[in-house]
Structure 1
């Protein structure tokens, strides 16, 4: 039986979509979906995970840790040896998102085999689908990938077809961090575009970046969505309170029209795996609720998206 260690939540979800969860023997500290992933041994640790720090404190800690140590994570090396993986799923996309590829590749060389290290580095929807194919091939189930990708692709195209019929494309700001402000990057602006919006501050196929708050004011977004990296709904609500104190906040069109939302970015937008398609559908429901009523927020207890402004 193949033994898989996944050091990335999105990779764990990809493995599950491919029917491989019974082969996953270890996961990262952030892997919480599907439910059975929470029962697997945790191989990584991050001191600020669930530390309840303010956004500015998290940002400062991350910058300092990357400068001083090159990483914000630690790996339980004895446990990794004990688990004897044949395949390790990791990433090279972002030093903040998960343990880096270089660290994992060096550790893999010390393990029996050594195991195959699969690097996931998506910057777009097509890259995410390619990663599903890559994981399937590495784990010996290449034939499973086609059906999985086809099902996800059909959902994407269904949103695209309906959104393309709508002439008005609202000015949109997909916000990845509040203090300091960050725009979205990689697949984020692409999702907005497919769902029928325009994010002039987004960095398509490139990393997210810090922006000046004045840029947001000048962009005059009609809708603002807080898709804060690693944050669930309730944590994002707290940062919305910070945002309300920013200069000229009340002057924003999105504020005046009550079009500000918080989403569960930890589960959806920040995970380039199967649920990225759910992220697209969430955006479609925000941008064009009359065209996509099935994706609209179900109220303040909706675990996906809540209207706060």
Structure 2
């Protein structure tokens, strides 16, 4: 089967299901596992990703629709049998209606499969659905089992321990709460998400609201930003009124994470995201579970 993947998490999933060699085209943001970055890129961004968080937010508002363009001619030349895309977020991938419209004009009439997970059960259903399409049901169940095993290990280690008030921030300027599956990740990692609800979209908030909630743990993982970029975006926070008095800041419980690789992508690396969240929330019992890179504790001089 020849597969065109228009979402990084689906590209990762295809690879983790053992079908990476079936991919013929991906997006310009598909970078994991690293070899797929060399495949033909079917999309490009309409906005400059080098802008600040505030500038990108403004550009997103100005666009008012999908932020990505699809290369129809390249897609046709690749002759995919299957196009994997998503319904969920025009800020994250090519608009689904655009994909279906283009696919309908292609001579070979490829199948279009669109996903829309909003919580962990939805993510796991995507694993199973794509597994069925690719004759990889066993591999899909193994991915789910790996996540569930990690969740059980965290629960075992944290049995009887406090559940600190936690806020995950998915964008810094303006701040956005966590959304979709991430509040559930926080809960499984041992925290109490103070501003977000499982299954709901992330929403714009304010730093005043975050300060008022007095989080004991702060996890900052801006969507689409690698760790070095996260460091740059977070540095101005030290100038906010009330920042240094936050319990999370006073106690050294502010964690930065690569929001491009983890948390934002509803794919196999949500298991690693859970490990990072557990290390952020309870370093005493869970630090050794987290991957060695892609996250760090913020050092704050109070």
Decide: shared fold, TM above 0.5. yes
Which region of structure 1 is more displaced relative to structure 2, 207-216 or 17-26?
Answer: 207-216
Partners in 2 of 1:94 and 1:124 — Cα distance?
A: 14
Does the C-alpha gap of structure 1 residues 9 and 289 become closer, same or farther in structure 2, counting only changes over 3 Å? same
- Counterpart residue number, 1:226: 220
Local SS of the residue matching 2:193: coil
Q: Once the two structures are superposed, what CA deviation does each residue of 1:15-62 show, in whole Å capped at 9, x if it has no partner?
A: 01111110000000100000111110000000335x321110000001
Deviation, 1:11, is 0.1
- Counterpart residue number, 1:305: 296
Local SS of the residue matching 1:204: coil
Local SS of the residue matching 1:207: coil
Runs (4+) of structure 1 exceeding 6 A deviation are: none
- Counterpart residue number, 2:40: 41
TM-score norm. by structure 2 comes to: 0.94
Local SS of the residue matching 2:211: helix
5 Å-filtered alignment, 1:53-202, equals 53-66=51-64, 70-163=65-158, 165-202=159-196
Could you list the runs of 5+ residues in structure 1 that have no partner in the other structure?
none
Could you list the runs of 5+ residues in structure 2 that have no partner in the other structure?
none
Q: Once the two structures are superposed, what CA deviation does each residue of 1:53-91 show, in whole Å capped at 9, x if it has no partner?
A: 11100000011112xxx2111111100000111111111
Q: Once the two structures are superposed, what CA deviation does each residue of 1:86-136 show, in whole Å capped at 9, x if it has no partner?
A: 111111111111112111111111113311111121111121111111112
- Tell whether 2:234 aligns with 1:240: yes
Local SS of the residue matching 1:10: helix
Aligned residues: CA RMSD: 1.6
Q: Which of 201, 222, 228 is residue 207 of structure 1 equivalent to?
A: 201
Does the C-alpha gap of structure 1 residues 64 and 158 become closer, same or farther in structure 2, counting only changes over 3 Å? same
Which region of structure 1 is more displaced relative to structure 2, 99-108 or 289-298?
Answer: 289-298
Partners in 2 of 1:284 and 1:293 — Cα distance?
A: 7
Partners in 1 of 2:275 and 2:290 — Cα distance?
A: 9
TM-score norm. by structure 1 comes to: 0.92
| Count of residues in correspondence between the two structures | 300
Does the C-alpha gap of structure 1 residues 130 and 6 become closer, same or farther in structure 2, counting only changes over 3 Å? same
Maintained 8 Å contact 1:10/1:274: yes
Maintained 8 Å contact 1:48/1:58: yes
Which region of structure 1 is more displaced relative to structure 2, 254-263 or 37-46?
Answer: 254-263
- Tell whether 2:50 aligns with 1:52: yes
Local SS of the residue matching 2:132: helix
Deviation, 1:152, is 2.8
Does the C-alpha gap of structure 1 residues 142 and 295 become closer, same or farther in structure 2, counting only changes over 3 Å? closer
Maintained 8 Å contact 2:255/2:295: no
Partners in 1 of 2:188 and 2:84 — Cα distance?
A: 29
5 Å-filtered alignment, 1:253-268, equals 253-268=247-262
Maintained 8 Å contact 1:233/1:306: no
Deviation, 1:143, is 4.3
Does the C-alpha gap of structure 1 residues 42 and 242 become closer, same or farther in structure 2, counting only changes over 3 Å? same
Partners in 2 of 1:228 and 1:124 — Cα distance?
A: 18
